[in-house]
Amino acid sequence: MRTAIDTSIFKSYDIRGIVPSQINDDIAYAIGRAFVEVLERKNICIGRDMRPSGKDFMDALSRGATDAGADVTQVGLISTDAIYFAVGHFGFDGGIMITASHNPAQYNGFKFCREEAIAISIETGLAEIRDKAIAGDFKPAAERRGTIREQDILEGFADHCLSFIDDIGAIKPFKIAIDAGNGMAGETVPRVFKRLPCEVVPMYFDLDGTFPNHPASPIEPENMVDLQRAVKAGKCDFGVAFDGDADRMFLVDEKGELIGGDIVTALVGIDTIRLNPGAKILYNLICSRSVPEAIERAGGIPVRSKVGHSFIKKTMRDEDIPFGGEHSGHFYFKRNWFADSGMIALMQCLNVFSRASGTVSSVIAPIDRRARSGEINSTVKDIPGKLAALQAHFKDAAVDQLDGITIQYKDWWMNVRASNTEPLLRLNVEGDTKDVMERHRDEALAIIRA
């Protein structure tokens, strides 16, 4: 039976839409059935975050999957990185996570992976799932309808995360403010930290998909203000914030200063090289120049990548890279089936901070030496024209087109790339000093917004 579905809910890497106008139980059923039929899955797991519609969507997805003949294991309230663990560790041939990540409360959605936690994108199966769900041309109900069972995987997930600490006895008794943003970190953090000597100052640990305190999107500085205040007021050693589905992680130092995802990439990269001398470490091209410099100083080999997890995971698999990170707070690990995990990144940061003699800010200072603009979006009608104008204006620069255009000078650089889904140009600028960064940021914006 054909199902009326708004195709705009199908994004590059997942499904997200407003409940119930864009996503409802009938659509969830069709997507669950299409997922199993298109990818010929036999044994899948389904997890969810704390959004109010999650339980009903889990049941609807399960009905669709079992009607198509797959066995379903419901793993309950978990983080997105825990679904990757469940699929990889327990040998499921597919997984669905019900989440809209950092989106506002009225949204929900689905993320998909196949065996070995390999993520599914619009190019690798999601388009076919979309077309099958919309058409509703499902096979006749399977002779053997699949089964549904429940399994708690969070203790195993905690064990897995803790395995990235090579000596738990060496972890210092840090005082850490952790902002779960009413998201799934409120469930995962206690499972992990009960085995560590750290004192956790919990913030917004109650699971609440209406997000009553602030949006669970720590990449936005305004959503970090409460954490910064708590770190300073509580004299904490540092602070941590997770997004809604707890797969991304952000840090602040003991002064309440924000630490970028690219600098966290350098920290985890350094720790990875300590455990894997000479290893390659991947970073995306929006990261600070300080990241490859830190990797080289630690004896590793920096590998520059396009933005986006599909490119990063493929490169890491192809080149057998143990760790990769992005400025956006996504961190990828070979020992995590090349999937991302904010919690694992935090464990390796604990390694680094525990081995250091000084404060977190003193650990960061030698690495974080430049000024960055952050990502600035501009609505643009003629994207190719603007990119050409930028290249013409900065004609004496070194330029590459790995992802959009990157324009490089000795003391500053910028990247400008188009959004995949909107008529936007995304600008990132870094300078050796704040003055240099701001001057060239404004110079670029004058061209882009003319």
Strands, E assignment, 1-104? 15-18, 43-48, 71-77, 94-98
Whole-number Å distance between alpha carbons of 427 and 405: 10
pLDDT of residue 309: 85
Whole-number Å distance between alpha carbons of 16 and 62: 18
Contact (CB, 8 A) for 61 and 96 = yes
Whole-number Å distance between alpha carbons of 207 and 84: 21
Q: What is the mean pLDDT of each run of 10 residues along the chain (450 residues)?
A: 87 95 97 97 98 98 97 98 98 98 96 96 96 93 88 98 97 98 98 98 98 96 98 98 97 97 98 98 97 98 93 94 96 98 98 97 96 95 95 96 96 93 90 98 97
Q: Specify the long-range contacts of residues 442-450, CB closer than 8 Å, at least 24 apart.
A: 443/393, 444/390, 444/414, 444/416, 445/376, 445/378, 447/386, 447/389, 447/390, 447/393, 448/378, 448/380, 448/386, 448/390, 448/416, 449/378
Whole-number Å distance between alpha carbons of 272 and 417: 30
| Distance (Å) of CA 418 to CA 249, 307, 385, 387, 404 | 25, 11, 12, 9, 7
| Distance (Å) of CA 384 to CA 7, 403, 404, 428 | 27, 13, 10, 17
User: Hey, what are 262's tokens?
Assistant: 């690219």
Whole-number Å distance between alpha carbons of 12 and 10: 7
Q: Give the active site residues.
A: 101
DSSP bridge pairs for 203 = 179
Rounded to 5 degrees, what are φ and ψ at 251?
A: -120, 155
Whole-number Å distance between alpha carbons of 156 and 29: 29
Whole-number Å distance between alpha carbons of 119 and 431: 35
Contact (CB, 8 A) for 39 and 146 = no
User: Model's pTM, two decimal places?
Assistant: 0.96
Contact (CB, 8 A) for 263 and 275 = no
Domains of the chain: 7-152 (3.40.120.10), 157-253 (3.40.120.10), 261-364 (3.40.120.10), 371-448 (3.30.310.50)
Q: Which amino acid is at 19?
A: V
Whole-number Å distance between alpha carbons of 341 and 325: 10
